[in-house]
Amino acid sequence: MNIIVDDELRGICSELLAEGWAEAEWAEREADDWIETERYVGGFDADEGAFTFSRYTDGDEVWFQFTLTEAAAIADGTLTQLEARLAQ
């Protein structure tokens, strides 16, 4: 299943990039719930080397992740969809 990147997620990615941290710095600050917005909850997972998030879509919770590089592509609008799976 794919989810469409919306303005809220683009804003989250812009905020993440504004921190100016490399992946190793994010790993030092690992937290599952660093970001909590109206539709999204997530943070950086050092084991995955990626930001992991959940979102409710059509009444279902979905999980997805993206790397720091992908966060830049989301923020600038070049990455418009992400692979997601139903929460278990």
> Looking at the predicted structure, is the pLDDT value of residue 88 above 90?
no
**Residue 58 has what pLDDT?**
78
Prediction pTM value: 0.93
Q: pLDDT tens-digit profile of 32-61?
A: 889 999 999 999 999 999 999 999 877 889
**Residue 2 has what pLDDT?**
93
> Looking at the predicted structure, is the pLDDT value of residue 67 above 90?
yes
| Number of domains the chain contains | 1
Unique residue bearing structure tokens 């929460």: 87
Q: What are phi and psi of 20, to 5 degrees?
A: 75, 15
Unique residue bearing structure tokens 């998030």: 53
**Residues forming beta bridges with residue 88, ordered by sequence position:** none
Domain of 76 in residue numbering reads as 2-86
